[in-house]
Amino acid sequence: MNFEIVELFAIAMFFISLFGLITSKGVIKGIISMITMEIAVVMFFLSIGFQTGILPPIGRDVGDNVADPLPQALMITAIIIGVAVTAVNMTMLIALSRQFKTTEWDILKKKKME
Amino acid sequence: MIYVLLVFWIISGILAIQARKLIRIIVYLAIFSTISAVCFFVFGAPDVSMAEVAVSSFSTVFLIVCFEKYFTLVTEVTKDPPHKEKLSKRARKFILPACFTAAIALLFVYFLPDGTVNTYLRDLYLYRFRLDVGGENAATSIYLGYRVYDTLFEALMLLISVVSVAHMSWRAETDETDAHFAGVTKSDTVDVYTIRILCPAMLIFGVYLILNGHISPGGGFQGGVAIASFFICRYLIYDVYDVRFGKIMIFEKMTFATLIILAVLFVFLGVYIQLPQLRIPYLLAMNMLIAMKVAFGFIIIFYRYIAFERR
Amino acid sequence: MELLGNIVIVIGLVFMAFGALGLYKFKDFYLRLLVLAKIDTVGAITFMVGIIIRHGFSFFSLKVLLIIVLFLILNPLTAHIIARAAYLSIEGIDEESDDGTGGR
């Protein structure tokens, strides 16, 4: 197994967010965990092939130590999609709290059973 | 230096996940996003860093508005559970998920590919993008040239989410201004005049990001968020609600249609290869259309929450 | 010139360190807000003046000067808005500052 320590940080953050998503008692904690999970995924994609003193892929004479432009182009769209997902999640949260007056999973399950 | 930043990044993320008060969640998330933007810059991705900064400032304001609505809605909030629980219950709540996530993490790390990173595609793109697409910024050239379908489907995702936000949110019967927001913002002259001075600077910065997207860091997404923040500040200054939703939503759909037609015309029909002098105008036009799309989407989301979701 | 710039940067860092100390020392909300504004304006502006002195007269220094102007406009504005919002919702502040965290 040969990987960068930088990638390991992003993977650790992703699984910490997954743990928070599993053990969340309310809906809000789930949404917050999803936001941090998205940023961790972006961090993982950008940290592949990291070397110290790496340069952005802009301009003509940048030399050899250049960052990979393909994950950057994909991750810009991913960040904007992340905000859209957060907005939809928040809409659903407010609709849920308007209908049931709570956002805790346990109380929601009880109310659903009745 | 990057390791120190990443340690603080993980600490702020853990704090954001485990915080109990909602205001602390917002503050920790803002810190988390800011540190991650600095990390992106160190990784050699100023475009992504700029997008992250713009988006995090937008989502902070957005989350404050949402939680303020949420506080007025929710009546049943459970108290903190007593700490004297039985071991089996605690195990079911924490130890089993911890074991589960640790197992998945180990599996993921085990299946991570070995060896050095394959740089074939990177070298190809860096060598060819000026000839194939044009411009100086490789990231912009990739998401407008080689990978234009990803950008189109991203615009489609944004359109779908905006439509779902507009249709799922609840509309009040009366369109009176919100007393709480109006009381804080309207009567204060200092911030009103300062924002009134700064608003043109914000708009100029957004336009600069859009027009220089192909030769410097920036582009349609970042400029769109900057222009949307101009409209949010406009709400804060005048505290009036005079945006017509129907027209803005029609504009957004028309922008999306124009985006698809332009991209298909240039990439599908090969106008790209035949007319090389049209490449820079194509990049400019695509950046402008994407910026309009993103700005319209964010304006709709924000104003929907401010104006309609009130009680 | 470079030594002078380094000295000014260190002075800015000392301002920031004292501000961070003050955040832990004071428990009152408004005092902490005052210290926070000191960190933002005095510390950061001294830091950037040091950067300008180090780099000399160039295009880069002009950009840093623009950032200083924006700091001078925006940081008092944010401190003012936070203080005003706290003043308008006094009951929430008092309730939260009892637990020793100062409502933050």
Chosen for mutation from B23, B58, B73, B305 (greatest number of chain A CBs closer than 10 Å) is: B73
Taking a contact as any Cβ pair under 8 Å apart, which residues of chain A between 17 and 56 contact chain B?
17-20, 22-23, 25, 28-29, 32-33, 35-36, 39-40, 42-43, 46-50, 52, 54-56
Taking a contact as any Cβ pair under 8 Å apart, which residues of chain B between 136 and 155 contact chain A?
136-143, 147, 150-151, 154
Q: How far is C78 from chain B (nearest CA, A)?
A: 9
Q: What is the ipTM of this complex?
A: 0.92
Q: How remote is the C-alpha of A65 from its chain's centroid? A: 28
Q: Residue B72: pLDDT above 70? A: no
Among candidates B302, B217, B234, which has minimal Cα distance to A84? B302
Highest average pLDDT, of B52-56, B163-167, B196-200, comes from B52-56
Q: What pLDDT does A96 receive? A: 83
Q: What pLDDT does C77 receive? A: 85
In tens, the pLDDT along B229-240 reads 888 887 777 666
Q: What pLDDT does B256 receive? A: 92
Q: What pLDDT does B240 receive? A: 60
What is the distance between the alpha carbons of residues A29 and A105, in angstroms, rounded to a whole number? 11
Q: Which tokens is B218 given?
A: 């920036």
Q: For residue A3, name the pLDDT band (cuts at 50, 70, 90).
A: low
Domain coordinates in residue numbering, chain B: 139-311
Nearest residue on chain B to C85, judged by CA atoms? B184
Q: Does domain A5-113 have CATH number 1.10.10.10?
A: no
Which percentage of chain A shows pLDDT scores above 70?
A: 97
Per-residue pLDDT of chain C (104 residues; tens, 9 = 90+): 888 889 999 999 998 998 889 888 888 888 888 888 888 888 889 999 999 998 888 888 999 999 999 888 888 888 888 888 777 776 554 444 444 443 33
Q: What pLDDT does B291 receive? A: 92
Q: What pLDDT does B309 receive? A: 55
Domain coordinates in residue numbering, chain A: 5-113
Q: Which tokens is B279 given?
A: 């490449």
Q: For residue A36, name the pLDDT band (cuts at 50, 70, 90).
A: very high
> Helix, strand, or coil here: A66?
strand
Which residues face A58 on adjacent strands? B137
Buried b or exposed e, range B65-84, using 16+ CB within 10 angstroms: bbbebbeebbeeeeeeeeee
Residue B198 with chain C: CB contacts under 8 Å: 73-74
Say which amino acid occupies C39.
I
Say which amino acid occupies B118.
N
Rounded to 5 degrees, φ, ψ at B76 are: -95, 110
Q: What pLDDT does A38 receive? A: 92
What is the distance between the alpha carbons of residues B52 and B33, in angstroms, rounded to a whole number? 7
Buried b or exposed e, range B282-295, using 16+ CB within 10 angstroms: bbbbbbbbbbbbbb
Q: What's the whole-number average pLDDT of chain A?
A: 85
Average pLDDT over residues A7-24: 89
Q: How far is B200 from chain A (nearest CA, A)?
A: 24
- Token match 């859209």: residue? A84
Is the distance from CB of B311 to CB of B69 less than 8 angstroms?
A: yes
Average pLDDT over residues B74-101: 68
Residue A80 with chain B: CB contacts under 8 Å: 51, 55, 154, 158, 221, 294
